[in-house]
């Protein structure tokens, strides 16, 4: 043994062998990078549900116990839109409820409900009933007033009970909202509200039994969300006066303040899409890239943008979902003329896959899947496809191109070019390419074109998941930040997309320069993951699998003095839920794990159909 050690120590070419080994290792790494070699799909974090276990949202909601009563008035201006927003909020939170339209129906018996929601700004249609509702609260009921109230004799009945000591005549401008740190995931700061207007009552609250959760500007601003204990019951009021899709999470979070404990399912996932990636890298130069780096677009993509994006992914554990596009020609007749730079496709695609990412379809070219019944109204200069057969020829080409380059990769995600997809295009994809299980459009309506793919998080019986992307780009503005905190608290989700050419386009922040854009993106990511360390990083398909479970699960809770039992209808293998302990303190958990989020709010990951939480 000693002799052998001596022989090794004295071996003259030891250094050369080390160098040869290092070179062999480098060559192996390069080969793996270039040729793919079996990637991640056997190690997917979350798989799609088997088809027989898929449950739609309406099926899941139909089994809920109806312990909430929603009173609304379809004659109120804007009532229809507000009612629609709250329908999604309550369906997604799996709030079993009866809804009564006071324009056509009388106030029903409400004694047996646990929660009443007055989805009204004018309480007149409730009439004298408001007095008995307040008595019901005093006896242990929970009343939620999400809308900014109109001041009149009926509101004055509840004002004092809500803790309002002073209310001005004028409405207060809500151009930002300060979210108290213990209230919502991501709170503890002020969020700008674009297009804010005089939408809040200018009011002051007493200190007695009142907890404020959100206010204009800072802690001492006009209260926007608060709770008031009244007898054995609770009032929760919101005074924001804005009910857009980007604010849903504020209403979900305030609803959860009502009962002893509130449980609602969430998706728990964070996905980052790279649109047009891999794709042909544009030739030539760009004004801002030239200005900041004195280099070509190609060099910028390969040596600056992509390494920076990979570094961010490493820092925060993000998994990118790239959307492949073969070329940028305008052919819509089925002619195939693409001469893709396959080396670049392979390099980018394989690096993305090796990092645990996913590749989906974007298009053969960037022409949306629309026929001549779609009118782009001059907003886009796209053509429409000449025929179904032409569309099929082009998409087949993309399919075989991706199969060739990434042979063992499941292609299960589709993102439409410019988020435009006709009804016929959607049917075409589902019929012809059954491997596609995720259609990912956008969350917020585009208003201009009715064939933009605007979605809710939803899962269909045929296995196709609607998964809207919520925010985009690196320069995260006030609207996107509001949307981000809202969605963290309604669905516990982040769904984001960016383009490699964002740094080239002044409309997406290019004038700032890539270094500033990157810093802003990093600032957003730092807020996101700092606020929600338990948010799961998922690929597009994994997030869709999470959406299927979220849509299906229907929790039923029984709360006792010493414990609560949560039974999860349609449970498959795991469920993600938010739990707010308003009057109880959790102790031990069986059937899942509880992770503290903020204040009284916890993430419950259930691994059994029945979860028991004991109280301290």
Binders of Zn ion among residues 415 to 444 (CB under 5 A) are: 417
Chain-centre distance for alpha carbon 333: 37
Nearer to Zn ion, 349 or 417 (CB): 417
For residue 541, the minimal CB distance to Zn ion (Å) is 19
Nearer to Zn ion, 97 or 366 (CB): 366
For residue 368, the minimal CB distance to Zn ion (Å) is 10
CA–CA dist 79, 75 (Å, integer): 7
Nearer to Zn ion, 380 or 572 (CB): 380
Nearer to Zn ion, 448 or 593 (CB): 448
Nearer to Zn ion, 280 or 516 (CB): 280
Question: Distance of CA 308 to CAs 282, 301, 497, 498, Å?
Answer: 19, 10, 16, 13
CA–CA dist 504, 606 (Å, integer): 45
Nearer to Zn ion, 492 or 497 (CB): 497
User: In terms of DSSP H, where are the helices of 182-336?
Assistant: 248-255, 287-293, 297-300, 306-316
Nearer to Zn ion, 191 or 414 (CB): 414
Sign of CA dihedral 47, 49, 55, 61: negative
Per-residue x/- mask for Zn ion, residues 330 to 369, rule CB under 5 A?
----------------------------------------
Contact 199, 240 (CB under 8 A): yes
Nearer to Zn ion, 268 or 467 (CB): 467
Rule CB under 5 A: say whether 600 interacts with Zn ion: no
Listed ranges 13-21, 136-144, 414-422, 552-560: which one lies at the site for Zn ion (CB under 5 A): 414-422
For residue 14, the minimal CB distance to Zn ion (Å) is 54
Binders of Zn ion among residues 443 to 482 (CB under 5 A) are: none
For residue 380, the minimal CB distance to Zn ion (Å) is 12
The owner of tokens 């002051």 is: 204
Q: How many residues bind Zn ion (CB under 5 A)?
A: 3
For residue 502, the minimal CB distance to Zn ion (Å) is 11
Listed ranges 216-224, 313-321, 410-418, 436-444: which one lies at the site for Zn ion (CB under 5 A): 410-418
CA–CA dist 394, 326 (Å, integer): 10
Question: Residue 252 class from Cβ within 10 Å (0-12 exposed, 13-18 middle, 19+ buried)?
Answer: buried
CA–CA dist 327, 207 (Å, integer): 64
Listed ranges 55-63, 238-246, 413-421, 517-525: which one lies at the site for Zn ion (CB under 5 A): 413-421
Half-sphere CA count of 557, side-chain side, radius 13 A: 23
Q: What residues have CB less than 8 Å from 78, skipping those under 6 apart?
A: 243
Nearer to Zn ion, 252 or 442 (CB): 442
Nearer to Zn ion, 163 or 500 (CB): 500
Bridge partner residues of 118 (DSSP): 71
User: In terms of DSSP H, where are the helices of 129-260?
Assistant: 129-138, 153-159, 248-255
Q: DSSP label at 410?
A: -
For residue 266, the minimal CB distance to Zn ion (Å) is 29
For residue 369, the minimal CB distance to Zn ion (Å) is 13
CA–CA dist 283, 339 (Å, integer): 14
Per-residue x/- mask for Zn ion, residues 371 to 400, rule CB under 5 A?
------------------------------
For residue 18, the minimal CB distance to Zn ion (Å) is 47
For residue 362, the minimal CB distance to Zn ion (Å) is 6
Binders of Zn ion among residues 257 to 296 (CB under 5 A) are: 275-276
Question: Distance of CA 397 to CAs 104, 339, 349, Å?
Answer: 57, 12, 18
For residue 331, the minimal CB distance to Zn ion (Å) is 16
Residues that bind Zn ion (CB under 5 A): 275-276, 417
């Amino acid at each position: 043994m000693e002799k052998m050690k001596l022989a090794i120590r004295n071996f003259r070419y030891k250094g050369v062998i080390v160098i040869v080994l290092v070179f062999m290792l480098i060559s192996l790494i390069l080969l793996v990078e270039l040729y793919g070699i079996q990637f991640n799909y056997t190690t997917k974090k979350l798989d799609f549900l088997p088809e027989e276990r898929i449950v739609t949202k309406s099926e899941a909601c139909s089994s809920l116990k109806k312990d909430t009563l929603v009173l609304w008035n379809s004659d109120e201006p804007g009532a229809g839109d507000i009612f629609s927003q709250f329908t999604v909020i309550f369906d997604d939170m799996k709030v079993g409820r009866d809804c009564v339209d006071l324009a056509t129906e009388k106030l029903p018996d409400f004694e047996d409900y646990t929660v009443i929601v007055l989805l009204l700004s004018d309480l007149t249609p409730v009439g004298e009933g408001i007095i008995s509702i307040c008595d019901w609260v005093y006896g242990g009921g929970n009343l939620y007033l999400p809308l900014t109230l109109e001041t009149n004799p009926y509101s004055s009945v509840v004002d004092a009970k809500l803790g309002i000591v002073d209310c001005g005549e004028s409405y207060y401008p809500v151009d930002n909202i300060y979210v108290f740190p213990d209230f919502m995931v991501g709170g503890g700061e002020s969020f700008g509200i674009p297009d804010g207007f005089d939408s809040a009552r200018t009011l002051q609250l007493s200190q007695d039994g009142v907890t404020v959760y959100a206010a204009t500007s800072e802690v001492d601003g006009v209260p926007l969300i608060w709770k008031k204990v009244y007898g054995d019951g609770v009032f929760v009021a919101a005074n924001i006066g804005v009910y857009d899709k980007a604010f849903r999470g504020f209403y979900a979070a305030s609803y959860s303040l009502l009962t002893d404990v509130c449980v609602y399912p969430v998706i728990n996932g964070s996905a980052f899409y790279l649109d047009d990636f891999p794709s042909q890298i544009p030739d030539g130069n760009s004004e801002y890239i030239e200005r900041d780096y004195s280099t070509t677009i190609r060099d910028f993509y390969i040596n600056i943008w992509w390494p920076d994006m990979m570094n961010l992914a490493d820092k925060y554990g993000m998994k990118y979902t790239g959307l492949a596009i073969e070329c940028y020609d305008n052919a819509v007749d089925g002619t195939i003329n693409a001469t893709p730079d396959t080396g670049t496709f392979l390099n980018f695609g394989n690096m993305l896959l090796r990092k645990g990412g996913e590749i989906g379809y974007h298009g053969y070219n960037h022409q949306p899947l629309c026929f001549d019944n779609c009118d782009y109204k001059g907003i886009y200069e796209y053509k429409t496809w000449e025929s179904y057969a032409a569309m099929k020829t082009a998409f087949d080409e993309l399919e075989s191109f991706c199969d060739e380059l990434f042979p063992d990769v499941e292609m299960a995600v589709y993102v439409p070019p410019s988020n435009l997809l006709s009804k016929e295009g959607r049917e075409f994809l589902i019929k012809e390419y059954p491997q596609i299980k995720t259609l990912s459009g956008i969350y917020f309506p585009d208003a201009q074109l009715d064939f933009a793919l605007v979605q809710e998080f939803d899962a269909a019986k045929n296995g196709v998941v609607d998964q809207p992307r919520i925010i985009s780009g690196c320069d995260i503005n006030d609207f996107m930040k509001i949307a981000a905190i809202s969605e963290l608290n309604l669905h516990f989700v982040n769904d984001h997309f960016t383009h490699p050419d964002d740094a080239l386009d002044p409309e997406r922040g290019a004038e700032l320069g890539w270094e500033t854009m990157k810093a802003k993106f990093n600032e957003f990511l730092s807020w996101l993951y700092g606020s929600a360390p338990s948010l799961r990083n998922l690929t597009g398909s994994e997030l869709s699998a999470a959406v299927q479970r979220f849509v299906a699960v229907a929790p039923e809770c029984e709360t006792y003095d010493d414990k609560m039992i949560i039974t999860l209808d349609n449970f498959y293998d795991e469920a993600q839920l938010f739990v707010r302990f308003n009057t109880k303190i959790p102790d031990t958990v069986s059937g899942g794990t509880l992770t503290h989020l903020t204040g009284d709010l916890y993430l419950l990951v259930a691994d059994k159909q029945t979860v028991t939480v004991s109280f301290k």
